């Protein structure tokens, strides 16, 4: 690990020169802004998140501003970011922040974990990026960089939260400010240089210390994480279509009105039923609508 620890200064210096200008990284971004960005960035590309984030923060610059409106407005504003239950969770988290923390996002990891929709990754990311605490933060990109640079593997394999956090904690600089930059830098490195399919090794600041490159970049033959089912034709796609219709309508929509939106009536009914069961849609005598 002594050689691996030497990765940190190179990554921190590279990040200082090459970090993308993203609104949640700017000095004026509040802890609430960091929290919102983390919710939005889950399973959604950065390019799609930026305009949605900026619009969201203009409308709801504080947890109290969001908590004061119904959850249906949060779901409607979520638009095409996907996985709309994240909007429901974010709204509920805003309510909890107002009720439990006087409207201020807490810095403590355990307090963050107690909020709706916040798991170990998001809690540590907010603690590190919003409050500068020395917490290891691990996402898919970080895991890939560690797998290659430290372990010599072309892929990270299936996630293991305990092992992944321990590996990042070993690399984390002792100074909180450097730790924050290293966390962000490892994510950025995996996102734009050490990518899954076409790593730009010649542009990598730690190429000379990379175990995978030193071994000749061997093909990965270890266990693989389960791949996600195709989106086209899936229940996920149909759920998205229904949610799009409900967001666009400012009145209840009947099942008959939704029928032309998908040719498979059984699949459409299944998607609608699942949205109602998940609390993402409500159904009354007049039809379906976003939750209040």
Catalogue the active-site residues: 38
Which residue, 98, 99, 93, is CA-closest to 112?
93
Could you tell me the CA-to-CA distances from 288 to 118, 154, 240, 281, 282 in Å, in that order?
28, 47, 14, 7, 6
If we measure between CA atoms, which residue out of 25, 28, 83, 89 comes closest to residue 61?
A: 28
Measure the CA–CA gap between 41 and 279, rounded to whole angstroms: 22
CA separation, residue 78 to residues 9, 73, 179 (Å): 38, 8, 32
Judging by DSSP bridges, how do beta strands 282-284 and 287-289 pair with one another?
Answer: antiparallel
Q: 151, 159, 143, 148: which is closest to 200 by C-alpha?
A: 148
Q: How far is CA 221 from the centre of its chain?
A: 28
In terms of Cα–Cα distance, which of 92, 177, 95, 98 is closest to 133?
177
What Rg, from alpha-carbon coordinates, does the chain have? 21
Per-residue tokens: 211? 């175990």
Measure the CA angle with vertex 128, ends 82 and 11; round to 5°. 95
Instruction: Name the DSSP letter for residue 132.
Output: -
What does the alpha-carbon distance between residue 86 and residue 248 come to, in Å, rounded to a whole number? Answer: 18
Q: Which residues pair with 288 in a beta bridge?
A: 253, 283
Residue bearing tokens 């609430």: 32
């Amino acid at each position: 690990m002594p050689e691996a620890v030497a990765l940190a200064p190179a990554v921190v210096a590279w990040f200082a020169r090459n970090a993308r200008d993203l609104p949640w990284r700017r000095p004026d971004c509040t802890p609430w802004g960091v929290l919102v960005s983390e919710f939005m960035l889950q399973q959604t590309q950065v390019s799609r998140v930026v305009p949605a984030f900026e619009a969201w923060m203009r409308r709801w610059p504080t947890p109290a501003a969001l908590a004061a409106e119904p959850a249906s407005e949060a779901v409607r504003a979520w638009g095409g970011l996907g996985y709309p239950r994240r909007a429901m969770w974010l709204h509920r988290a805003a309510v909890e922040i107002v009720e439990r923390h006087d409207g201020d996002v807490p810095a403590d990891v355990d307090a963050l974990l107690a909020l709706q929709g916040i798991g170990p990754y998001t809690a540590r990311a907010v603690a590190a990026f919003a409050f500068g605490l020395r917490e290891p933060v691990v996402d898919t990109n970080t895991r890939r960089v560690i797998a290659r640079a430290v372990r010599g593997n072309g892929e990270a394999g299936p996630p293991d939260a305990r092992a992944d956090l321990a590996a990042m904690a070993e690399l984390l600089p002792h100074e909180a400010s450097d730790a924050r930059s290293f966390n962000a830098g490892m994510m950025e490195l995996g996102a734009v240089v050490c990518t899954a399919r076409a790593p730009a090794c010649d542009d990598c600041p730690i190429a000379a210390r990379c175990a995978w490159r030193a071994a000749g970049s061997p093909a990965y033959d270890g266990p693989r994480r389960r791949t996600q089912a195709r989106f086209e034709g899936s229940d996920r796609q149909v759920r998205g279509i229904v949610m799009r219709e409900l967001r666009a309508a400012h009145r209840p929509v009947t099942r008959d009105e939704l029928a032309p939106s998908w040719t498979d009536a059984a699949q459409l009914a299944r998607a609608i039923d699942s949205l109602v069961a998940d609390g993402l849609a409500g159904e009354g005598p007049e039809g379906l609508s976003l939750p209040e």
